[in-house]
Amino acid sequence: MPQESLRPPQWPDDRVCSADQKGLVREMLTRIGDKWTTLVITTLARGPLRFSALLGEINGLSHRMLTVTLRALERDGLVTRTVYAEVPPRVEYTLTDLGVTLIAPLGTIVDWVEGHQGQVAASRAEFDA
């Protein structure tokens, strides 16, 4: 088993968050903020999808990264993987109850970005000028 496949970033530095759980919070933020996790969750929020459907819905997402992302979500208990014993094989991914509770908080961030992207873009334009 390759090291990379499934290992979620373990945050080994307890100095960062010695007395509290900021390490875990940041680890989850890292997960939430990583390249594909949020897109996968928000896509699954509209209903269960199979692997190939997810791949089709999310533009630019590679085969391999979808697998990695889904495994991490599954490990965290946010997504359920259901295999149907058919030929050809069919696998459906569904948000768990826990995963569903993440939709709203995620939504506040998405809303913020959508509501302020103009200001951010303007600020960048000025900064880069």
Partner DNA sequence: CTGTATCCCGTTCGATACTG
Partner DNA sequence: CAGTATCGAACGGGATACAG
| Residues between 50 and 109 with contacts to a copy of itself, criterion CB under 8 A | 58-60, 74-77, 98, 101-102, 104-106, 108-109
Encoded one letter per residue, x for contact with DNA by CB under 7 A and - for no contact, window 55-74 reads: x----xxxxxx-xx-xx---
Report how far residue 129's alpha carbon sits from residue 125's, in angstroms, rounded to the nearest whole number: 6
Contact 23, 77 (CB under 8 A): no
Partners of residue 81 on adjacent β-strands: 93
Contact 93, 49 (CB under 8 A): yes
Which of DNA, a copy of itself, none sits in contact with 2, Cβ below 5 to 8 A by type? DNA
**Closest alpha carbon to 32 in 1, 89, 72, 92:** 72
The number of residues making up the chain comes to: 129
Residues 6+ apart with CB under 8 A from 65: 35, 36
Count residues contacting DNA (CB under 7 A)? Answer: 32
Which of DNA, a copy of itself, none sits in contact with 51, Cβ below 5 to 8 A by type? DNA
Contact 103, 109 (CB under 8 A): no
> Binding of DNA at residue 31 (CB under 7 A)?
no
Positions touching a copy of itself (CB under 8 A) are: 8, 13, 15-18, 21-22, 24-26, 28-35, 38-39, 58-60, 74-77, 98, 101-102, 104-106, 108-114, 116-117, 119-124, 127-128
Positions touching DNA (CB under 7 A) are: 1-7, 9, 12, 34-35, 50-53, 55, 60-65, 67-68, 70-71, 81, 83, 88-91
